Amino acid sequence: MKRYFFPALKLTLVLVLLTAGIYPLMIAGIAKMAPGKGDGVTIEKNGLVVGYANVGQQFTGDNYFQSRPSAVGYNSAGSGGSNKGPSNPDYLQVVKDRIDTFLVHNPGVKRSDIPAELVTASGSGLDPHLSPEGALIQVPRIAKLRNIPEQKLRDLVNEQTKAPLAGMFGPATVNVLKLNLALDEIK
C-alpha cells in the first residue's frame, strides 16, 4: 500500500500546486496585459463609466437603437441563454411577441426583414452587438423621432461598424452602447 500511496500523494500535491496555484496566477498575469487589465473594458462619458464594452444593456426609449434581447435581463452576474429550443411553444410565443412589439415601434418594416438578433437572445444573454443590418433597420424610427436625416444616421452606423477580424473571421458588428453614445453627440 505504501508503494502506491506516497507517489499518488506527491502527484496530487504537484497537480494541486499547478492547477490551483501556478496556472491561475499565469492566467491573471496574462489578463493584466489585455485591454481593461482583466477587469473588463469600460466605456466612459464625461469621466463616468456608463457601461462595459462586452456586456449588453437595455435601451427602452424609441429614440435610441435597441439592443438584442436578453434571456437574463441584462444581468451580467448570471449570464446564460433561455435553454429553450426553436420548437418550444413558449419560446416561439416570446419571439412572436418580440416581433409584434418591434413592428409596433417600427412601422413600415416588413416582418420578413427583421434580423433574427433583434428578436432572439444570444447564448450568453449579454451580447452587446448587433449586425449592421440590425442597426440600420431602426434608422427610420430614430430619424423621425430625433429629426435627423436618415442618411446621417446610416453614416453613423457605418462609422460605428467594426469589420470582421482580419476581414474574414466573424461577422461585422455594431456595439449598441457606443452607437447610442455617438447618437447623443449628433447636434
**Is the confidence at residue 22, as pLDDT, over 90?**
yes
Rank 6-20, 32-46, 81-95, 118-132 by mean pLDDT and report only the highest: 6-20
Which of residues 136 and 75 earns the better pLDDT score?
Answer: 136
Q: Residues of the chain with pLDDT > 70: what percent?
A: 100
**pTM for the whole structure:** 0.80
pLDDT single digits (tens) 85-106: 889 999 999 999 999 999 999 9
What pLDDT does residue 41 have? 83
What is the rounded average pLDDT of the residues 12-17? 95
Angle at 45 between CA 42 and CA 47, to 5 degrees: 85
C-alpha–C-alpha distance, residues 28 and 22, integer Å: 10
**Is the confidence at residue 60, as pLDDT, over 90?**
no
C-alpha–C-alpha distance, residues 134 and 41, integer Å: 23
CB 55 within 8 A of CB 76: yes
pLDDT band at 21 (very low <50, low <70, confident <90, very high): very high
H or E, element range at 144: helix 139-146
